[in-house]
Amino acid sequence: MKEVLTDFGVENALNVLGINEVNDGTSTGSNSFSNGEIIESYSPVDGQLIGKVKTTSKEDYEKVMQAATTAFKTWRTIPAPQRGEIVRQFGEKLREKKEALGILVSYEMGKSLQEGLGEVQEMIDICDFAVGLSRQLHGLTMHSERPGHRMYEQYHPLGVVGIISAFNFPVAVWAWNTALAWICGDVCVWKPSEKTPICGVACQNIAAEVFKANNLPEGISCLINGDYKVGEMMTKDTRVPLVSATGSTRMGKIVAQEVAARLGKSLLELGGNNAIIVTPDADIKMTVIGAVFGAVGTCGQRCTSTRRLIIHESVYDKVKEAVADAYKQLRIGNPLDENNHVGPLIDKDAVGMYQKALTQVVEEGGNIVVEGGVLIGEGYESGCYVKPAIAEAKPDYKIVQHETFAPVLYLLKYSGDVENAIEIQNNVAQGLSSAIMTNNLREAERFLSVQGSDCGIANVNIGTSGAEIGGAFGGEKETGGGRESGSDAWKIYMRRQTNTINYTTELPLAQGIKFDL
């Protein structure tokens, strides 16, 4: 395997994470087994083979579910603060292996090393959040209308939580779900993206260390690998009361229908077509930083990536020039070299979609401001490196209405007041993240009001990308309506129960109903 530009080294990282040449893609704790076909994981960084993972067969899946359902019976009886202690230990393991896992994330997915390390830090942060939450899984008490009665609500674990994650955040989104599900008393079955399977094996190895050290049953953390057919096993399984799925809107609609057909619950984090509104009162320097990182970070492959820049006509030319100048400073190359800003797309299919988007925007009448293109030559052997591009467009272009999962930024012009910009922003099918750049308090408050942004995330004077784990993460419309991570997102992983206790010797009925015998 080719060595990349980091002192730690990919080979060393793989050894630290327990990654072998061929890894079992099905695992229940420390027990690994697989009978399926082989998935080969090639790095978009240099095209080198990282490792191989065996897919999960139907027989393997049944073993996983048996282990998970059995483990749940033990895990749910452990007090929540003690479950929190296990999550704390998992967070400590992540701290020990942060560099190794961050390198693997960067190498297998293609995001910059800083973003890879940042993703592992998100895992650590959600563990810290979950540890505190393990002592705060609170219900409500309320007064009964009947004398001598007490009413309250409490929350119980759901059972097996199924997690389907996407390639762009190959470890963090799993941790968002898993850390909260674990402290809630649930066990987890995870199907990572078939494009980043080695990251899944690494995380499962780390979790298995913690559970084994604490003599806890296998099955609290389970891993399955494969394509959509493996995911279907979980979405159709009545033993999985909640399926949390992150990915495209197309995929989410399929999952939602399958899970709803059996009256299960789904938590969906799907597509985003995110915009930054730039008003005449915007700080241009801040706007450029927010827009450029939002558009090119993770090579435009974040669900919160900035796709549209909606600029007031009075500052349009100034902002266009400033953003275009900033693009000239971008360094594209090996993401493990921290001198570079932009790494590769995940694979050549993604490159094809990027090229198609640039062709389509021109066909619809758009104007290319910063030329795109595929990079070739030394350092670009994988064929996955592209130039971040900027195109002038109109809001009603079909390509602008679509989520382009690549570093293509569309510049849109608006006139009049901020209401017009908000209307443009909201007039897409997706509703994940949004932002406004302004020093005008009235504009900012209007953007955040009930008549403002219709997205699950609405920011003022920061970009669309880069959420903190303290707040609930998710969006509306075709983004799916799910919420993960902070705030009260834990409630989706539990079932609510209302309890009424009668401590008298009589049995009065609610609403004053008389039923005398």
Name the β-bridge partners of 155: 496
Helices marked H in 247-337 — which ranges? 249-261, 284-296, 316-328
pLDDT of residue 2: 38
The CATH number linked to 118 is 3.40.605.10
Residues 68 and 209 both lie in one domain: yes
* Greatest alpha-carbon span in the chain: 90
300: left (phi over 0), alpha (psi -120 to 50) or beta: left
Asked whether residue 511 is domain-assigned, the answer is no
End-to-end CA distance of the chain: 83
| CB 245, CB 232: distance < 8 Å | no
Instruction: In whole angstroms, give the CA distance from residue 215 to residue 217.
Output: 7
Is residue 108 annotated as a catalytic residue, yes or no? no
**Residue 404: per-residue pLDDT:** 92
Structure confidence at residue 3 (pLDDT): 40
Do residues 315 and 412 share a domain?
A: yes
Are residues 224 and 323 part of one domain? no
pLDDT of 297? 96
Q: Concatenate the DSSP letters of all residues of 344-372 into one string.
A: --SSHHHHHHHHHHHHHHHHTT-EEEE--
Whether residue 320 is found in the same domain as residue 453: yes
Name 164's bridge partners: 191, 245
Tell whether the model's pLDDT for residue 499 goes beyond 80.
Answer: yes
Helix, strand, coil percentages in the chain from 3-state DSSP, rounded to 5: 40, 20, 40
Residues 6+ apart with CB under 8 A from 36: 25, 26, 54, 55, 56, 57, 60, 225, 226
Q: Which of 6-20, 264-278, 325-339 has the least mean pLDDT? A: 6-20
- Which helix (H) or strand (E) element contains residue 40? strand 38-42
Q: Is the residue at 388 inside a domain?
A: yes
Question: Does residue 164 share a domain with residue 36?
Answer: yes
User: 6 pLDDT exceeds 70?
Assistant: no
* Structure confidence by residue, pLDDT tens digits, 266-315: 999 999 999 999 999 999 999 999 999 999 999 999 999 999 999 999 99
Residue 257 lies in a domain: yes
29 pLDDT band, cuts 50/70/90, is confident
- Are residue 214 and residue 314 in the same domain, yes or no? no
Specify the range with the lowest mean pLDDT, choosing from 6-15, 86-95, 121-130.
6-15
- Pairwise CA distance, residues 388 & 177, whole Å: 32
Residue 348 and residue 292 share a domain:
yes
- Contact indicator for 346, 195 with CB cutoff of 8 Å: yes
Q: How many domains does the chain have?
A: 2
Q: Which of 269, 403, 443, 478 is catalytic?
A: 269
Q: Do both 184 and 310 map to the same domain? A: no
**DSSP assignment of 403-446, as one string?**
---SSEEEEEEE-SSHHHHHHHHHSSSEESEEEEE-S-HHHHHH
In a domain, 235, yes or no: yes
- For the segment 12-18, the average pLDDT, to the nearest whole number, is 96
Residues 58 and 133 in one domain: yes
The answer to whether residue 103 scores a pLDDT higher than 80 is yes
Among 5-9, 320-324, 461-465, 509-513, which stretch is predicted with the lowest mean pLDDT? 5-9
Could you tell me if residue 197 is inside a domain? yes
Q: Give domain status of residue 253, yes or no.
A: yes
Residue 3 lies in a domain: no
The rounded distance, in Å, linking the Cα atoms of 307 and 190 is 30
Q: What is the mean pLDDT of residues 82-110?
A: 98
DSSP 8-state secondary structure symbol assigned to residue 510: G
Q: Is residue 5 predicted with pLDDT exceeding 60?
A: no
User: pLDDT > 70: what percent of the chain?
Assistant: 99
What is the pLDDT, as a whole number, of residue 219?
96
Q: In CATH, what number is assigned to the domain containing residue 416?
A: 3.40.309.10
Measured between alpha carbons, how far is residue 31 from residues 28, 34, 355 in Å? Answer: 5, 10, 44
pLDDT of res. 32: 86
Q: What is the mean pLDDT of residues 437-465?
A: 98
Report the pLDDT averaged over residues 443-465. Answer: 98
Report how far Cα 201 is from the mean position of its chain's Cα atoms: 18
Distance separating alpha carbons of residues 251 and 416, to the nearest angstrom: 38
pLDDT band at 7 (very low <50, low <70, confident <90, very high): low
Token pair recorded at residue 100:
């190794």
Q: Are residues 245 and 295 in the same domain?
A: no
Does residue 146 contact residue 508 with C-beta atoms inside 8 Å? Answer: yes
Domain check: are 45 and 58 in the same one? yes
Full residue range of the structural domain in which residue 373 is found: 274-468
Would you place residue 149 in the very low, low, confident or very high pLDDT band (cuts 50, 70, 90)? very high
Residue with tokens 């360094």: 331
pLDDT in tens, 334-379: 999 999 999 999 999 999 999 999 999 999 999 999 999 999 999 9
Residues 303 and 372 both lie in one domain: yes
pLDDT of residue 143: 96
Q: Does residue 337 lie within any of the structural domains?
A: yes
Average pLDDT taken over every residue of the chain: 96
Q: The tokens of 462 are what?
A: 């920061």
Mean pLDDT of 204-217: 96
Confidence of residue 1 (pLDDT cuts 50, 70, 90): very low
pLDDT at 38 over 60: yes
